[in-house]
Each structure stands twice: as structure tokens, then as C-alpha cells.
């Protein structure tokens, strides 16, 4: 029986209790039935199919009773069942339930019970990240990295005060093969154990993106695995899953990085709506530029945090930039940091003149602390206001700037005052990494997603249109 026919029978059997997708040479079928589910991949190993019985944990069953094939060779349907959930994963004695890779031969049964009952397998993904100046690879399963490695180019770009795209691309070419070998060895898996290979395809530096994309697509084709092109910002949104379990959604994400400062409402996997953004410099860019102004080095975030230690954060009053609306008034949530940057230029010039006249040093710690404080206040105030207006009870903090201690502490204090729950990406996964790309790819794979092997890369692409990356009609 063809996979599509199996899909029809299983769909009738399970009713509306789970979510099931059947993959095969004839395409994909999907029965939607709630936020938990199982993904069933049925691929004929021969020209025909032997009897294949699927037993469902809540009483339904579906059966493929066609036996034999035209060539007289024994054949079977290879079945894999994956647990699919949004939020916390089932645990047993504090540990994640073990993976069970279920390759069924004719006549074998597989139970697919409700959430937390039968431990079944999640897909295993090799993920690559090369969108900017960090080369990364990871093997991810059950939203947990089995192995993760990052090769940073920070020192090489620091002497230029920013990322040089050509240098970044060349270093990715050099680093990526060794990183892949490392994570595959550390995970103890081979390519036969993988269910997909993913790479960041947008947004980012085109040359850098191409290195990871071409590598992933080549490996996917060589090993006969699905390729998944991942949106970099979706990876950051998924980085929070690498930490503590999330409360039930929907929730509001504050994504702050070198190139992005955005407020994104997340209603479920792949369901994103941007509610606010920076209209000029992102928070990370402002950190880099002010760090250069203060001669603190690159990248600016860690440099300013270190310089601000012990500084008086309220010594210098600085503006909290707002974005004007065409009809008057101001946008309630959007960010603007260009005015703050200009104010810092003038303040530093004034303080330098005073210091030179008095024969004293520039008050570096106070300047850094005052700048860091106003950035954190702007981000937290507008994020909390947006969450309240949207009726959302959970805030999530992700992105490179999410590693900033002052921002984390201020957000935690404000959430406690307002009675909001909050989560942040683990510090190890705030900056660019491949584990977050693997989690995003895993969620897309569970939803039946697969990118074309001919999908290219793009320097920009709206997060709201990330689903198009898994369309047969390539968006770019």
C-alpha cells in the first residue's frame, strides 16, 4: 500500500488526539490533531510492501495488508515515530526520556501513547551556523545538544573594529570540516544515525552563509538526508529551549543582538509576529560603536560590561530615544539608539575636555555604566509595556546582548514586580551557535518541513516568512 494510503487509514484510526505526518515517495500527508503528536515516516524498502501493523496507544489501529512485491523480494515499511511537543519535554527521574529509534519490520508494533507515557524518538539533526564571524556545528536531539563546537574569529576581526566579510568567509571554509568531524565524534553518532542536516541560510553575510549552506546541502545529498535551511532569527528564538522548560505559550521574545533589536510574539512553533524593532542602530551595534568611542575594543558588549563594573550608572543622564509616529506622538515599543550614540559622542568629548583641564583620567567606568544602564532600561521598559498590552504573561530574552548581566538583572527585577514569568537563553547559547539552529530545524522537521536542495541564501528575509524556506518553490 502506498504511503498516502497508509496515511489515510492511520488518520481515520487516530481521530483527533495526536498529529501525524506520513512521508514517502508519493509525498507528505498531515493529519492535525492538537499540540502533541507523532511524526511517522514510512518509506518503502522495496518495490512493494509487506503487511505493516501500527498499534496506537489510545486504542486506534491502522493496517497495511498488502504483501509481497513484484520482484518477489522481501520488503518493508521503515517506520519512525517522533515525540512532538511545544514546551517542556517529558522527564523520568529528572532526566529526559531516552531516545528509541524504532525501525519496524512487517508485523511489528509500535505504541504511540499520550504525552509522557511512551518514550519515543525525536529526530537527530546535524546543524551548521556560518551567518557572520563564528563557525559552528552541533548535533541536536530532543532539543538538547549531543555535541556542540564553535570556532570564533573575534580576535582576527577586532583589529578592524568590526567583521570583514571576505575574511569571515575564508575562515568558515577552513574551520567547518574540522568542526563537523569534532561534533560527530563527540556525539558518538554516524551519518546513518541522523534524520536531517541543517544550515543557516538567511539573514547574514552572503559569502559566509554560502559556506554553511553548500556544505550542508552536499552532505545531505551524499547521505540521502533531508536538508533544512534555517532562518537565523528563528534559531535565536529557539535558543531558549536549550535551557529551562518554557511555561505554556504564547509569549513575548526580546531578541537583541549585533544586528537586531526586536519584540516578537510567539504563539507556537513557526508562528511569529513582530511587534517592534529598532529603526536605526540595533542595541548590539550601539554597544560596538560606543566601545570604539571609549577605546575599549571589539566586540563592544563584553568590553563595556567589563569597563562598567563598579561604575556609577546614574552619574550621567542620557536620552531614551523614541520613534515618532506620522500622525503625532511616539511609537510605544519601537527602539532607537542613534540619538543615544550621538549623546555619548558629545558627553565623552565634554568629559575629555574637563579631564584634560583638571589633569585627571576620563571617568570611563561611570560613562560605560551610564550607557549600559540606559540601554537596559529602554529594552526592559518597552518589552514589559508591550507584554502587558498584549496580555502576555511570559517574557523570553535571546540574542548576543542577552548575555549582558545588567540587562538580565533589570528584566528579572521588573518581571517580579509586574508578576511576569521570564526565561533567557543559556549564556553559552546567546551568541551565534549551531545548537539553536539544530533546535529550529528539529521543530521544522517534526512539522513535516524540508527545504529544497537548491535553496540558495539571502542577506535578508522576513522572519514572518520563514515558512517559505520549506516550500518547493524556492523563495531565493
- pLDDT tens figures, 42-57: 332 222 222 222 322 2
Rounding to the nearest 10 degrees, give the CA dihedral for residues 258, 263, 269, 272: -110
What sections of 165-205 are H helices per DSSP? 165-187
- C-alpha cell read off for 51: 503487511
- Please tell me whether the overall predicted TM-score, pTM, comes out greater than 0.85 for this model: no
pLDDT at 29: 29
* In the predicted structure, residue 80 carries a pLDDT above the cut 60: no
Residue 122 confidence class, pLDDT cut points 50, 70, 90: confident
Q: Which of 235, 272, 277 is nearest to 251 (CA)?
A: 272
Neighbours of 361 (CB within 10 A): 7
Q: Domains in the chain, ordered, with CATH?
A: 3-96 (no CATH), 124-238+432-470 (3.30.420.40), 248-424 (3.30.420.40)
DSSP state of 365: H
Q: Residue range 359-379: average pLDDT?
A: 97
Which pLDDT band holds residue 244 (cuts at 50, 70, 90)? Answer: confident
120 Cβ neighbours under 8 A, 6+ residues apart: 38, 81, 82, 83, 100, 102, 110, 112
Nearest CA to 80 among 127, 24, 32, 33?
24
379 has a pLDDT exceeding 50: yes
- Is the predicted pLDDT of residue 108 greater than 80, yes or no? no
Q: Is the pLDDT of residue 353 over 50?
A: yes
Say how far residue 342 (Cα) sits from the centre of its chain.
Answer: 33
What lies within 8 Å, CB to CB, of 351 at 6+ separation is 362, 363, 367
pLDDT for 121: 61
Indicate the range of 13-27, 182-196, 300-314, 344-358 predicted with least confidence: 13-27
β partners of residue 95: 92
Select from 284, 296, 286 the least CA-distant residue to 362.
Answer: 296
Helix crossing, 364-390 with 283-293: angle to 10°? 170
Rounded-to-integer distance, Cα 169 and Cα 52, Å: 49
Determine the Cα–Cα distance for residues 68 and 48; give it in Å rounded to an integer: 6
- Residue appearing with cell numbers 541560510: 201
Phi, psi angles (nearest 5°) of residue 27:
120, -160
pLDDT at 117 over 50: no
189 pLDDT tier (thresholds 50, 70, 90)? very high
The rounded distance, in Å, linking the Cα atoms of 369 and 444 is 41
Q: Contact, 334 vs 323, CB < 8 A?
A: yes
- Give CA–CA dist 36/153, Å, rounded: 41
Amino acid at each position: 500500500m502506498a504511503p498516502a494510503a497508509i496515511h489515510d487509514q492511520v488518520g481515520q484510526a487516530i481521530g483527533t488526539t495526536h498529529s501525524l505526518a506520513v512521508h514517502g515517495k508519493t509525498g507528505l500527508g498531515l493529519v492535525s490533531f492538537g499540540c502533541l503528536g507523532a511524526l511517522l515516516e514510512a518509506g518503502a524498502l522495496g518495490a512493494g510492501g509487506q503487511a505493516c501493523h501500527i498499534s496506537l496507544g489510545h486504542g486506534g489501529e491502522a493496517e497495511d495488508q498488502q504483501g509481497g512485491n513484484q520482484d518477489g523480494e522481501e520488503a518493508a515499511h521503515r517506520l519512525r515515530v517522533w515525540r512532538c511537543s511545544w514546551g517542556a519535554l517529558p522527564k523520568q527521574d529528572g532526566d529526559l526520556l531516552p531516545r528509541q529509534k524504532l525501525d519496524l519490520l512487517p508485523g511489528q508494533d509500535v505504541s504511540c501513547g499520550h504525552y509522557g507515557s511512551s518514550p519515543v524518538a525525536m529526530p537527530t539533526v546535524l546543524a551548521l551556523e556560518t551567518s557572520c564571524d563564528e563557525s559552528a556545528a552541533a548535533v541536536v536531539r530532543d532539543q538538547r545538544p549531543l555535541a556542540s563546537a564553535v570556532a570564533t574569529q573575534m580576535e582576527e576581526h577586532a583589529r578592524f573594529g568590526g567583521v570583514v566579510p571576505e575574511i569571515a568567509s575564508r575562515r568558515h571554509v577552513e574551520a567547518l570540516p574540522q568542526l563537523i568531524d569534532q561534533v560527530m565524534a563527540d556525539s558518538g553518532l554516524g551519518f546513518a544515525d541522523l534524520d536531517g542536516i541543517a544550515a543557516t541560510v538567511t539573514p547574514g553575510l552572503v559569502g559566509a552563509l554560502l559556506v554553511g549552506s553548500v556544505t550542508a546541502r552536499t552532505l545531505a545529498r551524499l547521505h540521502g538526508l533531508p536538508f533544512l535551511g534555517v532562518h537565523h532569527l528563528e534559531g535565536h528564538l529557539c535558543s531558549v529551549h536549550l535551557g529551562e522548560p518554557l511555561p505554556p505559550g504564547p509569549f513575548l521574545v526580546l531578541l537583541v543582538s549585533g544586528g537586531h533589536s526586536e519584540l516578537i510574539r510567539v504563539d507556537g512553533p513557526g508562528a511569529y509576529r513582530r511587534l517592534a524593532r529598532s529603526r536605526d542602530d540595533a542595541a548590539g551595534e550601539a554597544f560596538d560603536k560606543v566601545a570604539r568611542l571609549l577605546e575599549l575594543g571589539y566586540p563592544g558588549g563584553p568590553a563595556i560590561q567589563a569597563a562598567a563594573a563598579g561604575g556609577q550608572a546614574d552619574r550621567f543622564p542620557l536620552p531614551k530615544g523614541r520613534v515618532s509616529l506620522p500622525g503625532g506622538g511616539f511609537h510605544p515599543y519601537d527602539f532607537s539608539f542613534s540619538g543615544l550614540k550621538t549623546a555619548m559622542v558629545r558627553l565623552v568629548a565634554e568629559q575629555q575636555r574637563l579631564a584634560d583641564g583638571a589633569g585627571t583620567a576620563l571617568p570611563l567606568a561611570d560613562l560605560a555604566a551610564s550607557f549600559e544602564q540606559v540601554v537596559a532600561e529602554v529594552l526592559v521598559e518597552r518589552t514589559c509595556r508591550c507584554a502587558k498590552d498584549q496580555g502576555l504573561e511570559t517574557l523570553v530574552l535571546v540574542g548576543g546582548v542577552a548575555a549582558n548581566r545588567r540587562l538580565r538583572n533589570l528584566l528579572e527585577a521588573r518581571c517580579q514586580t509586574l508578576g511576569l514569568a521570564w526565561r533567557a537563553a543559556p549564556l553559552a547559547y546567546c551568541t551565534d551557535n549551531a545548537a539553536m539552529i539544530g533546535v529550529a530545524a528539529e521543530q521544522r522537521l517534526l512539522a513535516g518541513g524540508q527545504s529544497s536542495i537548491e535553496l540558495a541564501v539571502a542577506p535578508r528575509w522576513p522572519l514572518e516568512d520563514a515558512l517559505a524556506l520549506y516550500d518547493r518553490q524556492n523563495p531565493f
